Amino acid sequence: QVQLVESGGGLVQPGGSLSLSCAASGDVASISAMGWYRQAPGKGRELVATITRGGMTTYSDSVKGRFTCSRDNAKNTVYLQMTTLKPEDTAVYYCNADRFGVRYWGKGTLVTVSF
């Protein structure tokens, strides 16, 4: 089993920045891809960014150029640096990790972008 705990959510004004982190524990050996998804009120869960163990990243078009996903394999932690935040970025952000084809999820952290 893999446990994922997100931190760093909160309230930020439009145009502001926020950083999220997600620490993995448990059977962390052989975790391959990690990433972030989000779910806005009344909408389905959508991909935000993924990162391989080697550091290759992919981003959704809606966050490309504004968000940066990084990873520290020694700390089993994945990060999401968010800049130029927009009200439509408001959502619960979930951390995700893949290990031998099994997908694990954190409980999520709320990000609210509003005045």
Q: 32: pLDDT confidence band, cut at 50, 70 and 90?
A: very high
Residue among 94, 87, 103, 91 nearest 37 (CA): 94
Please give the mean pLDDT across all residues of the chain. Answer: 96
Model confidence pLDDT, tens digit, residues 38-92: 999 999 999 999 999 999 999 999 999 999 999 999 999 999 999 999 999 999 9
